[in-house]
Structure 1
Amino acid sequence: MTLLKQILNFYINSSIHVALSVFSLTWITLLELDLNYSESVLYFVFYATITGYNFVKYFGVAKFRHRKLANWLKLIQILSFICFVLMCFYALQLLIKTHVFIGCFTLLTILYAIPLYPKHKQTLRNICGLKVYVIALVWTGVTVFIPVINSNIEVSIDIAIIGIQRFLYVLVLMLPFEIRDLKFDNLKLFTIPQILGVKKTKALGVLLLLIIFLLEFFKDEISQTSILVLSITAIITGLFVVFSKVEQQNYYSSFWVEGLPIFWLVLILMFS
């Protein structure tokens, strides 16, 4: 049991789990827009997520404790390097205009971890109330607009709606994390639970899920299957938001909530 727990912790801490979630949302975009399965896009997104997330999470630790790194962190560094190489390999297979778009989100990721002015020590992560919106913006850009741009199709009303839905959905996914971190976050961060309180934050999450569901009916092309899958996903996600609390079990947010996009993809594949 201890070995299994160590493997699970490594799987989560090395960002493989979140990378599968981002991978899943990107694949969902391809399926929703009836685009061809793109190995280069999906694998690029997967390896880029591991690289980016591990850079953000462990940059400071690796910088100041490089010679005294724990074995698990050394393994994550090795994994991150391998993923960086594979990310570059698949990036070379993408269109040039996709690279330009990727560059913008790469800059956002860097500024999220490293301050623009080192003396001020102010990163995007630490700017009041900005954290969740930056994450939602990056996830939306990566999972919706990278596959669209690389497929050489114009941004239609349906694509714009998917972009809005994805942005709101990622915001909702962040709420259980924000509630969990309420006891740790600096009050100056002005996170959503700090501003609204836990109960109103949960209500906001349910409201956003309702908006996501209603937006589905504004698309030019809708199907009973897509509505069914979205409704199941919204209900399950809503339950996780409603039952989230400050004192959470270890894997409540980091595994179950973060894995909801994988569940969404599985539903789509099952019903299609």
Structure 2
Amino acid sequence: GYTYVRYKKMSEHGQGVEEGRRKAARKCWKATKTAVIKDTWVPLLTLPWKCAFNCLCCSCRQAGIEASRWVWQCVQCWTPLSLTVLLLWLLYRPDRFHPTVDSASLASLDLNGNSLRYNLAVDLSFRNSNRLLSISYLDVGASASYNGTSLGLAGNSLPGSFQQGPKNTTVLHAVFQGMVTVVDVQVQEGLAKELERERGSGAVRVRVRVDLTIMYKVIVKEIFFYSYECYLPFTPLPNAVFLSDSAPCFRV
């Protein structure tokens, strides 16, 4: 009778320990899931420090879980979570978009001696085609060049940062105006020959580079840096006309 009672107590104790393990694992998983979804690790601070530490691998090893079960628990935890993150990334990532040039005007591009004067205005269109994802543009920069010679930056004509909602299009007006002094004689000769050649062919091409720093959130916040190049064809001056309805910008 004593042996039976002792065995029964040990069995009940074992069942209690197992139930405690399950409750601890469920509590760990719930806290970890809440922390990941809300992008804050505050829920983990409500757990005992050992459990909070082990929750990073979806286990509470202080409950005495065997190594094989601990590994399987990690697989069960991280596999669906990883697949979910990957699926959301493939569905909602905004790096598929490419800015386009809707319209442009070239008022001047003249080389007089060693001075290259320019006056260029470009409308850059940014389209967020995602249905749920907003994009934060932390920094927007644009520069122009002709035949490898920099024409300067767009300056204060572009906003420093802005927010773009889902299924939304934002058009920015970039202005490049000023004068560049070309010191190198060979560069001067190259610019003069290229201008003459393109005027004879009927199309003067100016390159615009767009640099973006964007931030968006798919489970967690991510910041990316992208650069695009747009090649803009114009009819020769003095009556320069943009030769395209829209010019796509290609990522570099």
TM range (shorter): under 0.3
TM-score normalised to the size of structure 1? 0.23
TM-score normalised to the size of structure 2? 0.24
Higher relative contact order (CA 8 A, sep 6+): 1
Return the index of the structure with the highest Cα Rg. Answer: 2
Higher strand share: 2
